[in-house]
Structure 1
Amino acid sequence: MTTAEKITTAFKQVPRILYLGILFCLALSCTSEKKETVSEADIEQEINSGTPKRKFTKEILAQETAWASALVADDISFVESIMHDDFRLIRTYGDVPPISKDMYLGMKGMSASLAEVTSLNIVTEMDSIVVARTTWTMDWEQEGVGKLPPYFDMIDTWKKSKDGIWQIFSRISQVAEKPYTESKTIDD
């Protein structure tokens, strides 16, 4: 095998290695004994303190909030602009295969009257990649299906583009039983 063939083979493995790395980070975040959930008020307090625990909290919160607002405004072009070309949505409920960017943008009959980010916790930061655990509350429905579940707990992987824009690379979504409340325990 020539050097060029070895390099080509190695580069083909990069997406798999990145995927495995992300799964490892997710497993660590889900098995951590420390319960850390940050409410919107805590996020604002951290941002305004001048010494945020995480470097990209404000930027990722802005993207999550903008995405939620775009869903309510039915601004699919904005949603498309913050999605990485290799975006995948993985739902832990039902038997739906991973949803690609094109599939997500092509879903018909979706409408939302409310979508808000109710919590955000930056789990991992690695230069141009951030893994965040978020919760959303939504009032939305799909034509032919009706109302959809209102509460979601998600693990989002964001990647900063060459233009400096954070784009969502992956979302693992599960239905939550109840809404996020600020009465949850927050360990510092």
Structure 2
Amino acid sequence: MFASPAWLGWSLAALFVVLAVYSLWLALTSGTRCADGVTGDRSSGLAHAVMSVGMAVMFAPWGSAVPALVWNTVFVAMAAWFAAALFRAAPGEPRWRSAATHHVLGAVAMLAMVSAMSGAPAAGGDHAGHAGHSAASGGFLLPVLLTGLVVYFAADFGLSGWRAVRGGPGGRASGAARAVMGAGMAAMLVPML
């Protein structure tokens, strides 16, 4: 269970609102293609903004007030959009190492979180909804999927943080933003195991 005092939930929600604004700014000011050649910078920035808003709502103490159907629709559409981008990519493009793959995995992780949150209402600033659905109740496949997502986002946090420190491709701010998202995703998925 991801239990936290209300002040921590609001602080994390504010952090993800800032990340959403930054991602939206990137979406509006960036070029047309990511360096991977598969995903558009604008669609990638918009996806980060939407996921950041979703994370902000989930961290807020009243996060379960948004109907699960709204989030399910948004994240299923996002997963479909980026899956289609993977299949439209030209032969020889790094499909499985692309931003599109990252966004498909992010959308799947957000769908898992929304599913867990809709199971039980959160109260008092904690994520009781996350505790309501553990991976143990989902058979064998769900724990394997969730473990894989936790490992992926924890690794993404580490690699993106390293890029932010080094100032590599994408710049320090973009690396830091992706590291924050990776850390938040992993932190929200761990209680579901």
TM range (shorter): under 0.3
Q: Name the one with the larger helix percent.
A: 2
TM-score normalised by the chain length of structure 1: 0.27
Query: Rg: which structure is higher?
Result: 1
Write 1 or 2 for the structure with the bigger share of strand.
1
